[in-house]
Amino acid sequence: MILTVTLNTALDITYRVPSLRPHASHRVTDVTERPGGKGVNVARVLAALGHEVTVTGFVGGPAGQVLRELLAEASGPVDALVPVSGATRRTIAVVSELTGDTTQLNEPGPQITPAEWAAFLGRYEELLSGAAAVALCGSLPPGVPVGAYANLVRTARSAGVPVLLDTSGEPLRRGVAARPDIIKPNADELAELTGSHEPLRATQDARRRGAHAVVASLGADGLLAVTPEGRWHATPPARVHGNPTGAGDSAVAGLLSGLTQQLPWPDRLSRAVALSTATVRAPAAGEFDRATYGELLAGVSVTTA
């Protein structure tokens, strides 16, 4: 079983409009709702790939109830979310059909009490006993200690479970020091962590700070990985336009899938890039286009960095 942790789950809502103009009213042509938050997106992609996967984190309020109902309708992910008194946040993606561009609005999430945090820690330790790998994903809701991910990384390592960390800012800085097996920052998060805007230098610096392997997401330029086994740059076969929401989460799913199947790093990166690109092509946030995934996988280029 692969475990994904989403402390700040979300109900992802995607609006499609003919075009998006500031200071104007818009007629929405299509609305979709999906269970979301980074780790939930990761879990849904893993389940679609055929993996056994469990999701945990916090959930509460009306949006949280809808999230759980939608998660139950989706085939695959097991719901091990911890109920809280606050309300799960909503994220709004507004997609312009004219340009294909997406505008994202993210709510902050519920206030987590010390008792709720303690309940989650107990659930997390229980779930680790049956996990082949764990992904710690996304932002921290209010009330959760800033060093939470560092704590969760250490707990996973003590249990002998490989851990991937995908977050940003101070939670990433502290989490890296706890020596996760993989971190997956994007270019901005990597620059904030290291102070360097040169991708290879920044990725190497991030690894020196404690991560066993660093996989940096470079947007349309693919993934750059620095690992104990080598350095690689994986790029998609062509640049694509679409909704990038969830593309990074699909990359995490590809990395976890390859990790649990003990694939060589170039194959893990190919899978991650193909899934990420297929997600950009999909019409709704957090989905991936299965029809083109195989085609993309065959076309990914992986070179030594």
Q: Is 300 in a helix, a strand, or coil? A: coil
Q: Is 49 in a helix, a strand, or coil? A: coil
What's the CA gap between 178 and 208, in Å, rounded?
Answer: 12
Q: Are 190 and 184 in contact (CB under 8 A)?
A: no
Residue carrying structure tokens 């404690």: 210
Among 71-80, 159-168, 284-293, name the one with the lowest average pLDDT.
284-293
Radius of gyration of the chain (CA): 18
pLDDT of res. 243? 66
Active site residues: 249
pLDDT of res. 286? 59
Is pLDDT of 281 > 80? no
What's the whole-number average pLDDT of the chain?
92
Residue range 34-55: average pLDDT? 94
Residue carrying structure tokens 């800085």: 173
Q: Are 276 and 250 in contact (CB under 8 A)?
A: yes
